Amino acid sequence: MRIPKKYYTVAILLLGSLLLQAQPTTPDSPTVAVPVSTIQEPQPAPFVVGIIYIEGNKRTKSYIIKRELPFKTGDSIYLPDLVKGFEISRQQLFNTGLFNEVIVALKAFRGYEVDVVIQVKERWYLFPLPYLKPVDRNLSEWARQGYGLDRINYGLKFTQYNFSGRNDKLRFYLISGYTKQLQFQYDQPYADKTLRHGFGVGFSYSFNREINYATINNQQMFTDSLADGIRRWEGKIEYSYRPGLRTFHAVRLSVFKQRVDSQLIELNPKYFVDRSSSVTYPELAYNMKYVNVDYVHFPLTGWVVEAGILKRGINKDMNMWQINAKANKGWQVAKKTYYALQAAGVLRVPFDQPYINHRMFGYGDMFLRGLERYVIDGVAAAMARSSLRHELFRFNIRPPIKSRTHDRVPFRIYARTFGDMGYAYNKNFRDNSLTNRMLYTGGFGVDIVTFYDFILRFDYSFNQLGENGLFLHVKNDF
């Protein structure tokens, strides 16, 4: 945020006036000659942060907003550092996902005290939406399956963000179609007076008749001829700790149960361990995340670093340790031009794991652009992705319905070129040509970014197999 020049002028004039008042003189005061070599430049005095005014927060608690500020009432701070703190505050508040717009500015000077004003426009927090989405891992896989309507999930997805005004989230999903799913989740990141400790609780149940039982020729293989299909249960609790502005810690304890039709084991005896058709196991995970970026959902500049360790199972039915880490660094290299480098790695031991613990490239955000048509299983993997973006357009559209908090819909459009590389190691399932070899892809595309963290990406990609194609990626479906 740019601070109006008039505030700098007022600050300089006021500072000079106060320095003069601190050294009073009278007409009769003797004049003392001071050697030039002993004259020192007066050091500017720090200001004291006075009242912090918050405007526009109808639901969000004021102390939740103040939690994101690098300063507080009573702090002594030099004016240039305070101005830098305004930009940090704007980024931190915008990255909470609670607001469409954030303005942080000087409000008034009272001697050496300076008052601050924070103006926010809150988002909509309640989304009782009909839910309609393909179940496949991406649109390319859905196309390979023939765009079948039987591969659609539909139902009700109720999400209440900022449930109590403390940036907590309540989710309730009631889904039918391809997957019968019931899910409840509540996350409260600020459960104590210090606003550092939080918790989460959740439960989910799902049922599918069609099962991905194996990977052959780098493709998921499905069977839907099983009466009992696959059932999954999960219960979890989580503790979170945020000591400062940018570092987050979380510990999660989950209990899983999975049961499949016994006929599936004939198709893949290594789906679970020892030809078992059901497995129950606990999972304990710790995750640390450091975030210092301009916009957490589409970072152009700054750092995001994440690392975690996971223990799945405690006996021969399920026994896996996982270590994972990833980092993203963005730079502005020219006007409206940005370069980003991403790196990620996963290690699972021991290497002898059942099929359900081998998912690697092609699932979630672990993928290489240009290989979206394939899955690559493994127990260890590394990936690097680089992107060069240039902003083409930035504009706003007025919505048809007038609203004080949603008076414009912002759009940013970027041209992008990219290159990716990765490697996945697989000890037991080596029948797929993309495992245990270096992989390279590249291409160019367009990114469209708008409000509510909605990002649409078009990629025209190439890979080392000589294939190319247009791929669509959608991020954030509310």
Q: What does the pLDDT average to over 453-473?
A: 93
* Residue among 390, 328, 376 at smallest CA distance from 219: 376
Residue 40 pLDDT: 55
Report pTM.
Answer: 0.85
Q: Rounded CA gap, 370 and 465, in Å? A: 10
- For the chain, domain boundaries: 5-23+41-122, 209-475
Q: What angle do CA 227, 232, 237 make, to 5 degrees?
A: 170
Q: Tell me: the pLDDT tens digits for 267-288?
A: 999 999 888 899 999 999 999 9
Report the percent of the chain where pLDDT is more than 90. Answer: 69
In Å, how far are 203, 279, 354, 393 from 314, measured between CA atoms?
21, 12, 15, 53
Q: Tell me: the pLDDT tens digits for 322-369?
A: 999 999 999 999 999 999 999 999 999 999 999 999 999 999 889 999
Q: Tell me: the pLDDT tens digits for 163-176?
A: 999 999 999 999 88
Residue 401 pLDDT: 79
Kindly tell me if the per-residue pLDDT of 24 is higher than 70: no
Residue 143 pLDDT: 80
CATH architecture of 209-475: Beta Barrel (2.40)
Bridging pattern class, strands 454-463 and 468-475: antiparallel
Spatial contact of 180 and 259, defined as CB atoms under 8 Å apart: no
Q: In the 3-class helix/strand/coil scheme, how is 277-329 assigned residue by residue? A: CEEEEEEEEEEEEEEEECCCCCCCCEEEEEEEEEEEEEECCEEEEEEEEEEEE
Tell me the CATH class for 5-23+41-122.
alpha beta
